[in-house]
Structure 1
């Protein structure tokens, strides 16, 4: 009886695993089909076009393999991730500090909200040009650019969280004479965290794209620099290869870091 029961459980697990695998296949089958059709179309068009205008998928794949084999990809991906992460973390800390200020006064909240709107309306190229003037060809230029682009996104989410605070908790904090810091630590901060992580997900993806653009103008390493270098040397296959690497970076960060964190936070709430 024990053996039979164990066998049934094993068969049940195998069946469940098969169903899960089939479900995943059915979930991604339309996307895979579209991608395959896209590659076929790419092959057809590339065979009738100059390699400079549109390289074939085969040449792009070969270039990808070369970049990974010789280690070039790790150097430049690491440089880009360092810059975008530094600017992104600085933006997160500043957004939290501004949230502390905004939670202490409705007037300051209105002022900061207006400043956030002004920053959000400022073009990324304004910050790139200013960063080149102020910091020159250094890492600080893309870090500064990433910081200025991510701050308004994060601030908007922090302000949305503050607006949705439970007013009864705030009234209770006033009754017990909480200081502004205590009110932020015990009431505002726990409520802000889910909103902040949702904003961080968007801000990081935006910051990565902006940092790559800044690298084209201001540094000698990074994914943006390598894409521009490939363009200058008429290596369109390398441009496509680095573009695929950038897309993969975004997908990995989103699915490995931010998506699990957001699911955990949602479950905790």
Structure 2
């Protein structure tokens, strides 16, 4: 009995260590800034040591000074504001039309046969090909710029909604019909939740193309906007201004994408995938 009393007790730990605990620094949301900061630091070092010429490829410190100078005078806020307005209006128009047509062609075999071939043919037209036509139709003012952005947003949203509706599991729809759901209830309780994750992804793709198309749009005789800053920097031989405009484009695009994710997150809280909680 003495031997049994002196034997050490063994306790089994039921605590499960999650992989994320070991990589808490990398798992932090701010970890996404690590790679850009390292690249900027490397870029600065290459310019300062003379490995890269600073005349055509200014150092990040000079680019930040240009951004600061534009911000202090208020010029940057005006350019960012008008570009944001163009992207917002073009995104709204393209997303609405793309959502409606994508849902209709995905749900109706008749509309799919009538409309989808023509829309797929239009999708193959390069964006720059629309510029002279829109100038003839709408002039060089805001309407032509917003229309071009809307075209860029339309196609990824249309394809995303069309593919999402086509990909809804038929068995789930049959279950809804067994429970005698009305057409509206079938859409609200089955179709909409099924397509929502892919729809959000298509909206993000459309927003990204909207930011790409706004550059082409602002090449059409614009006197304001980040695209105008690019053209002005090229005509005046200011690479620091060109890179400053590109930097602001990247920041604005990322912020709007994050805002879209933040707004849409509450609509897909029901999802229970393997990435939840990471």
Take 1:26 and 1:72, find their aligned partners in 2: how far apart are those partners?
31
Greater percentage in helix: 1
Take 2:121 and 2:239, find their aligned partners in 1: how far apart are those partners?
37
Say whether residues 1:33 and 2:38 are aligned partners. Answer: yes
Aligned to 1:128: 131
Take 1:157 and 1:27, find their aligned partners in 2: how far apart are those partners?
27
8 A Cα contact 1:141 1:218, kept in partner: no
Aligned to 1:71: 74
Aligned to 1:42: 47
What SS class does the counterpart of residue 36 from structure 1 fall into? Answer: helix
* Aligned residue among 96, 101, 104 for 2:104: 101
Aligned to 1:80: 83
1:133 CA displacement: 1.5
Take 1:215 and 1:27, find their aligned partners in 2: how far apart are those partners?
30
Aligned to 1:10: none
CA distance 1:203–1:103, change in 2 (3 Å): closer
Q: TM-score, normalised by structure 2?
A: 0.77
After TM superposition, which residue ranges in structure 1, 4 or more long, deviate above 6 angstroms? none
Q: Deviations over 1:142-199 (max 9, x none)?
A: 21111111111011110111112132343456664844x6654444333222211101
1:101 CA displacement: 2.0
- Indicate the larger mover: 98-107 or 139-148: 98-107
Take 1:132 and 1:214, find their aligned partners in 2: how far apart are those partners?
10
Aligned to 2:156: 153
CA distance 1:30–1:177, change in 2 (3 Å): closer
8 A Cα contact 2:40 2:60, kept in partner: no
Say whether residues 1:205 and 2:213 are aligned partners. Answer: no
CA distance 1:92–1:31, change in 2 (3 Å): closer
CA distance 1:70–1:30, change in 2 (3 Å): closer
Which has the higher Rg, Structure 1 or Structure 2?
2
Structure 2 unaligned regions, length at least 5? 1-20, 272-278
8 A Cα contact 2:58 2:240, kept in partner: yes
8 A Cα contact 2:106 2:166, kept in partner: no
Take 1:228 and 1:26, find their aligned partners in 2: how far apart are those partners?
34
* Aligned residue among 185, 207, 216 for 2:219: 216
* Aligned residue among 153, 165, 186 for 2:168: 165
* Aligned residue among 229, 244, 247 for 1:244: 247
What SS class does the counterpart of residue 217 from structure 1 fall into? Answer: coil
What do you get for the CA RMSD once the two structures are aligned?
3.1
Q: TM-score, normalised by structure 1?
A: 0.79
CA distance 1:59–1:129, change in 2 (3 Å): same
Say whether residues 1:55 and 2:37 are aligned partners. Answer: no
Aligned pair count reads 250
